[in-house]
């Protein structure tokens, strides 16, 4: 009889444990911040959540600071995301600068960071919310350092697309972690010479930026811990990011290449 009672006790405990486990899992899903579950595919690394939107556009959440990068596509595109604390704009082209979208998503607290060429194209109401940051400038805000990195073309036939000094890539640094966003660029010395990058977003599309081979060479030179290929749609379709991944991993298996879906509507 005692043995039977003991077995019943064990069974009750197991059922209780299972129910507690299921409840905990459910609560975790419910309590997950919006940025980690909406907008389709997302990735989280050490308090840094990445939501690809499309092409050059993404929404980042770094320990609660919401960062929109090159927001385009209209207000509805961002309806599921938390309002931005800061907006980073890299260049004047329409896949990076969409004034109507910025006006629609910017709220009272939003601060815009942009190069002078972008600032000059903004209406006065957005200029009043913008801090101009040009190549090599540093700004300390939102408990992080924002550094403007040059982005430009090298190939003679592509010089017309992005001239040196007009647009910005960005390095964001917080608590010793460094995030690099390339903007539209080729494998320029300023990229190859970057140091201690934890997460890098690197473009690769022709004819506007660079080949997957050149992008891989640059990544192997500055050795980020993790790299996300983005901005990889060109005139001939999508670049071969699988080839980029294989080139990087063959050259340095310590570099993690993570592929997210930047073209959900393709």
- Do 49 and 60 contact (CB within 8 A), yes or no? yes
CB-facing half-sphere around the CA of 110: CA atoms within 13 A: 24
pLDDT at site 6: 43
Q: One digit per residue, pLDDT tens: the chain, 266 residues?
A: 444 344 444 443 343 333 433 332 222 222 223 333 333 478 887 789 999 999 999 999 999 999 999 999 999 999 999 999 999 999 999 889 999 999 999 999 999 999 999 999 999 999 999 999 999 999 999 999 999 999 999 989 888 999 999 999 999 999 999 999 999 999 999 999 999 999 999 999 999 999 999 999 999 999 999 999 999 999 889 999 999 999 999 999 999 999 999 998 76
pLDDT at site 155: 87
- Taking each helix axis from N to C terminus, what angle separates 241-251 and 212-222, rounded to the nearest 10 degrees? 30
CA 24 to CA 2: how far, in whole Å? Answer: 33
pLDDT at site 52: 96
pLDDT at site 147: 98
CA 52 to CA 41: how far, in whole Å? Answer: 7
Q: What is the pTM of this model?
A: 0.84
E-strand stretches of 133-252:
138-141, 144-151, 167-174, 177-181, 199-202, 226-229, 233-234, 237-238
CA 86 to CA 104: how far, in whole Å? Answer: 14
CA 240 to each of CA 47, 160, 178, 201: distance values in angstroms, whole numbers, following the listed order: 29, 24, 27, 16
DSSP three-state, residue 202: strand
């Amino acid at each position: 009889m005692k043995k039977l009672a003991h077995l019943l006790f064990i069974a009750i405990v197991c059922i209780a444990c299972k129910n507690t486990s299921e409840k905990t899992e459910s609560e975790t899903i419910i309590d997950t911040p919006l940025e980690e579950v909406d907008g389709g595919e997302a990735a989280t690394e050490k308090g840094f959540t990445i939501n690809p939107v499309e092409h050059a556009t993404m929404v980042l959440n770094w320990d609660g600071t919401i960062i929109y990068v090159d927001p385009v596509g209209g207000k509805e595109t961002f309806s599921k995301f938390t309002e931005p604390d800061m907006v980073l704009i890299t260049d004047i082209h329409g896949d990076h600068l969409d004034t109507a979208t910025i006006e629609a998503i910017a709220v009272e607290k939003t601060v815009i960071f942009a190069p002078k060429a972008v600032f000059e194209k903004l209406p006065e109401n957005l200029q009043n919310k913008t801090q101009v940051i040009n190549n090599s400038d540093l700004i300390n805000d939102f408990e992080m350092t924002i550094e403007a990195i040059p982005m430009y073309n090298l190939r003679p036939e592509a010089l017309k697309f992005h001239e040196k000094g007009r647009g910005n890539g960005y390095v964001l640094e917080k608590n010793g972690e460094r995030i690099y966003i390339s903007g539209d660029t080729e494998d320029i010395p300023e990229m190859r010479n970057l140091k201690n990058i934890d997460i890098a977003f690197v473009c690769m599309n022709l004819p506007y930026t660079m080949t997957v081979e050149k992008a891989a060479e640059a990544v192997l030179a500055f050795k980020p811990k993790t790299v996300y290929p983005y901005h990889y749609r060109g005139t001939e379709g999508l670049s071969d990011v699988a080839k980029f991944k294989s080139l990087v991993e063959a050259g340095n298996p310590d570099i993690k290449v993570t592929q997210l879906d930047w073209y959900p509507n393709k």
